[in-house]
Amino acid sequence: RRVHGGSQKLKMTEITPEYCLSLNGPTEDFLCPLDANTYGIDFVAFKIRDLDSSTTLFDIRKDPAAPAAQIVEDGDEELSRTIRYHFGPLFLKLRNIGTTLEFTVGPQPVQNFRMIERHYFRGRLIQSYDFKFGFCMPDSTNSWEAIYTLPELSPEEEEDMINSPWETKSDSFYFVGNKMIMHNKALYSYAPFDEF
């Protein structure tokens, strides 16, 4: 069982896509610092939709008038890199979802942009995704569409996940070539909406 924990510190050069694909549980900490994003990549919009019904489930856009990102204090780093999604129990019945990520790139080109996303429930890997974007021009705005086929869960697994809000987690690792530049986390709740 390979899980990256706080006591196991690796050099940035050891954290490769292959390493991230070998992880069997969520990381306890972030595998790269915020300043590893030397390409100035900034996520400005994100949308999730059910592909089978064309229903938008989540849609957020950064305010273009908002000031540029500020230096994050140490205590705020986890908050700035972790998002919580409350989707409700019907989400677990979906089979195919699409996400659209809009992002900007700084003054240098981005070659071989890649996202590896690992999803876990109570520390057990339930799904892994590996998406490649390719090339991004300098000073550009880009849109990245990803299609997710969701795992089929038994009724017992669904009930367990519904009754265990925030115990479903994911790590999203972003690479340019083989160099990790970003690492974000997410927590998920499938509990009924009226419970929160």
Calculate Rg over the CA atoms of the chain.
17
* Residue (of 79, 88, 100, 92) closest to 119 by Cα position: 92
Mean pLDDT computed over 78-106: 94
Half-sphere exposure of 137 (CA within 13 A, CB side): 5
Residues in Cβ contact with 2 at an 8 Å cutoff, skipping those fewer than 6 apart: 22, 23, 24, 25
Task: Give me the half-sphere count of Cα atoms (radius 13 Å) on the Cβ side of residue 65.
Answer: 0
Residues 6+ apart with CB under 8 A from 10: 4, 19, 31
Quickly state the pLDDT bin for 1 (edges 50, 70, 90).
very low
Contact 176, 39 (CB under 8 A): yes
Give the per-residue pLDDT at 176.
96
Sign of CA dihedral 97, 149, 186, 89: positive
Q: Which residue has the higher pLDDT, 196 or 102?
A: 102
Separation CA 146–CA 117 (nearest Å): 11
pLDDT value at position 43?
Answer: 93
pLDDT at 180 over 70: yes
Q: Does the pLDDT value for residue 8 go beyond 70? A: no
Give the predicted TM-score (pTM) of the model. 0.88
For position 6, what pLDDT does the model report? 47
